[in-house]
């Protein structure tokens, strides 16, 4: 499957990742501006960076873009699951909503769906071994 990463359904993915990159960057910037000492705010920044990397890699495409996108989306999946579970266990630490807390509840649970959609798309567009 040598489809372009950013065409077809990939374009829809780029759109959503782009929106989340902007949303997460904005939120973490505001929150860190208020109080840079809170871990959840830094996790929001991590989410923002991963969304930015994923968006860029999908747009750039190619073998490297695909590989880096898979790493970013994999970390994103682990992140949203870990932070989502953690935020239920330690409600004091996650007093303020962040992108990944409660599995992205504040964002219609899209942060939870997005890495699965991303990995499915990357699997679908996997570069052939001989190219």
* Among residues 89, 108, 128, 130, the one that binds another protein under rule CB under 8 A: 108
| Alpha-carbon distance values, 92 to 24, 75, 95, 98, 106 (Å) | 21, 25, 5, 13, 17
Binding of another protein at residue 12 (CB under 8 A)? yes
Residue 108 φ/ψ region, left for φ over 0, alpha for ψ in the -120 to 50 degree band, beta for the rest: left
**C-alpha of 58 from chain center:** 12
CB of 8 to another protein, least distance (A): 6
Judged by CB under 8 A, which stretch of 1-9, 49-57, 69-77, 112-120 contacts another protein?
Answer: 1-9
Q: For another protein, how many residues bind (rule: CB under 8 A)?
A: 16
CB of 122 to another protein, least distance (A): 17
Q: Is the Cβ–Cβ distance between 114 and 59 less than 8 Å? A: no
- Pick out residues in 25-64 that bind another protein (CB under 8 A): 26, 30
* Among residues 1, 5, 7, 126, the one that binds another protein under rule CB under 8 A: 7
The alpha carbon dihedral of 102, 24, 49, 43 has a sign of negative
CB nearer another protein, residue 13 or residue 43: 13
């Amino acid at each position: 499957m040598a489809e372009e990463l950013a065409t077809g359904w990939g374009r829809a993915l780029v759109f959503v990742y782009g929106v989340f990159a902007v949303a997460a960057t904005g939120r973490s910037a505001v929150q860190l501006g208020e109080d840079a000492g809170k871990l959840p705010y830094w996790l929001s920044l991590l989410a923002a960076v991963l969304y930015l990397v994923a968006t860029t890699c999908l747009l750039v495409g190619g073998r490297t873009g695909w590989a880096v996108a898979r790493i970013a989306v994999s970390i994103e999946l682990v992140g949203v699951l870990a932070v989502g579970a953690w935020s239920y266990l330690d409600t004091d630490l996650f007093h303020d909503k962040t992108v990944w807390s409660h599995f992205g509840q504040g964002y219609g649970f899209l942060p939870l769906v997005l890495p699965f959609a991303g990995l499915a798309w990357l699997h679908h567009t996997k570069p052939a071994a001989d190219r």
